[in-house]
Amino acid sequence: MSDEKKMLQELSDQEYKWGFVTDVDADTVPPGLNEDVIRFISHKKNEPDWLLAFRLKAYAHFLTLTPPRWQKVQYAEPDLQAISYYSAPKQKEKPKSIDEIDPEILATYEKLGIPLMEQKRLEGVAVDAVFDSVSVATTHQKKLADMGVLFMSFSEAVESHPELVRRYLGKVVPHTDNFYAALNSAVFTDGSFVYIPKGLKCPLELSTYFRINAANTGQFERTLIVADEGAYVSYLEGCTAPQRDENQLHAAVVELYVHDDAEIKYSTVQNWYPGDKDGKGGIYNFVTKRGLCAGDRSKISWTQVETGSAVTWKYPSCVLKGDDSIGEFYSVALTNNLQQADTGTKMVHLGRNTRSTIISKGISAGRGDQTYRGLVKMGKNAVNARNFTQCDSMLLGDKCGAHTMPYIESRNSTARIEHEATTTKIGEDQIFYCNQRGISTEDAVSLIVGGFCREVFQELPLEFAVEAQKLLSVSLEGSVG
């Protein structure tokens, strides 16, 4: 028992490894939220009038909303007036190539293990890196462009392909969706834009790396991915932030739009700064992610590994509108110390023969508190729709909490919904079995947790799976259930 305590202690004491701050000159607007700031952002980014109108409409709506309180997390509400809504690394001109990017920034990404230098890149992955609010570099641009894939920062897309952006922006997550989506729609600064043309299976995996660097800023990025008929893309997202004592807000919006026979696979490894062991500081991760399977036989697959953030509160969702469309959600969430996560998914079945699968694995350690909250809704026309949900929680230690709150609604008698959830700890017999075979207790825990999460990890693209495994084993070092 004392061993267990000691190891849990070690686990709790682990430091955040990505907590450094990069010293770069940045253009930052003074903190505050008002129409002028929105106009400033829009002007700074050279946006067309319709986009400014979109922002202002969202802001007007935002003013009518109050922050939601139904989620099962406790936190000091962020002071939205104390946040600076624009922070960009200072540059004289837009860099023509990666060589012109501030070496400090490049060094930061090196530290994070995201070398932007293309020659160093693993073949097959294109990266868009977002530093604070601005996209700093996108790799493999040319190769992608030759195939007709548009992969660029959101601001670039607004300049070069305004008609596409205008057509899809806010179609999946309207500015009226929720408090933080409205805020994002008003003040979003940058993000990634992806368009995969008809019939193309994108051979590269596209990746965005987000980093919050400056103090007192929030990150409000906007990602929009469109897969046209028969297209396929695998998209990866990673996040880190420096270690600071105050809470920083990350309120992103991700929209996926999938046409007939197309597929988007979206994978996230989220490792924002979780705060120190007393719960001081850390990122508030309040993100709205939603995909629309607009076309028949379309497919969206969300895979997420959540290990960071002080408070995570997000529900990557699928709206299955097209007939025979498929939604998938695979999630591993780890909460440690005082981390809190209220996460899950929404599967809204509208079309006929739509299918969805939800596999959620939650691991709570230290004084972490975790909630799976998911909605499965079968609409009136969801004939023969199917859903299977499995949520498993594992508790490491007796001070943490694991909660499961599914919301299930069926309006069609031919729809079938299955939900299963279990909550357990690692059995002493399992550990004993491993010990008997010469596996140390620590390795046994790692082995068992690895097995517990396997169903999700095998959905991740190879490199991400490796990263996720590492993240998890680092977080679990020395923990014995």
Partner 1 sequence: MKTASPDKSLIYQDVFSSGQAAEPAWQRYGALREQALAHLAAHGLETRGDEAWVHGSAGGLAGGEALPVSGLRQTTATGPAALARSHRLVFLNGVFAPERSNVGELPAGAVVQPLSTGGETAQLGGLPVTEATGLVALNALFWRDGLRLELDDNTVLDLPVELHFINDLAGKPGLVPTRNLVQVGAGCQVTVIERHEPGASKLIEQPLTEVICGVGSRVDHIKLVGGAAAGEHFGRTQVVQQQDSRYRSWEIVTGGHLARREIHLELAGPGAACDLNALYMGRGRQRFDLRTRVAHNAPGCTTRELYKGVLDGEARGVFDGLIRVARDSQQTSAHQTNRNLLLSDDAVVNSIPRLEIYADDVKCSHGSTTGQLADEQLFYLRTRGFSPAEARTYLAWAFASEVI
Considering the complex, state which of residue 341 and residue 415 has its C-beta at the smaller distance from partner 1. Answer: 415
Considering the complex, state which of residue 191 and residue 406 has its C-beta at the smaller distance from partner 1. Answer: 406
* Nearest distance, CB of residue 405 and partner 1, angstroms: 5
Q: Give the Cα separation of 291 and 218 in Å (integer).
A: 24
Considering the complex, state which of residue 411 and residue 470 has its C-beta at the smaller distance from partner 1. Answer: 411
Count of C-beta atoms within a 10 Å radius of residue 107:
12
Contact (Cβ atoms closer than 8 angstroms) between residue 286 and residue 314: yes
Contact (Cβ atoms closer than 8 angstroms) between residue 341 and residue 335: yes
Considering the complex, state which of residue 6 and residue 90 has its C-beta at the smaller distance from partner 1. Answer: 6
Q: Give the Cα separation of 469 and 455 in Å (integer).
A: 12
Considering the complex, state which of residue 279 and residue 397 has its C-beta at the smaller distance from partner 1. Answer: 397
Q: Among candidates 264, 209, 281, which has minimal Cα distance to 240?
A: 209
* Nearest distance, CB of residue 404 and partner 1, angstroms: 4
Q: Among candidates 277, 288, 298, which has minimal Cα distance to 250?
A: 288
The pair of structure tokens assigned to 139 is: 């790799």
Q: Among candidates 404, 377, 401, which has minimal Cα distance to 392?
A: 404
Contact (Cβ atoms closer than 8 angstroms) between residue 72 and residue 403: yes
* Nearest distance, CB of residue 369 and partner 1, angstroms: 8
* Nearest distance, CB of residue 349 and partner 1, angstroms: 12
Count of C-beta atoms within a 10 Å radius of residue 295:
23
Strand (E) positions, 39-120?
Answer: 87-89
Considering the complex, state which of residue 6 and residue 17 has its C-beta at the smaller distance from partner 1. Answer: 6
Q: Among candidates 286, 57, 58, which has minimal Cα distance to 182?
A: 58
Where do contacts with partner 1 occur on this chain (CB under 8 A)?
Answer: 70, 378, 380, 393, 395-425, 481
Strand 205-211 and strand 263-270: the pairing is: unpaired
* Nearest distance, CB of residue 444 and partner 1, angstroms: 17
Strand 222-227 and strand 192-196: the pairing is: parallel
Considering the complex, state which of residue 175 and residue 367 has its C-beta at the smaller distance from partner 1. Answer: 367
Strand 192-196 and strand 150-153: the pairing is: antiparallel
Considering the complex, state which of residue 42 and residue 339 has its C-beta at the smaller distance from partner 1. Answer: 339
Considering the complex, state which of residue 67 and residue 95 has its C-beta at the smaller distance from partner 1. Answer: 67
* Nearest distance, CB of residue 185 and partner 1, angstroms: 26
* Nearest distance, CB of residue 338 and partner 1, angstroms: 14
Contact (Cβ atoms closer than 8 angstroms) between residue 260 and residue 229: yes
* Nearest distance, CB of residue 301 and partner 1, angstroms: 23
Considering the complex, state which of residue 36 and residue 428 has its C-beta at the smaller distance from partner 1. Answer: 428
Amino acid at 321: K
* Nearest distance, CB of residue 399 and partner 1, angstroms: 7
C-alpha count within 13 angstroms, C-beta hemisphere, residue 132: 23
Distances (CA, A) of 261 to 257, 292, 359: 12, 13, 23
Q: Give the Cα separation of 359 and 332 in Å (integer).
A: 9
What is the total residue count of the chain? 481
* Nearest distance, CB of residue 408 and partner 1, angstroms: 4
> Please, what is the Cα angle at 143 between 141 and 144, to 5 degrees?
65
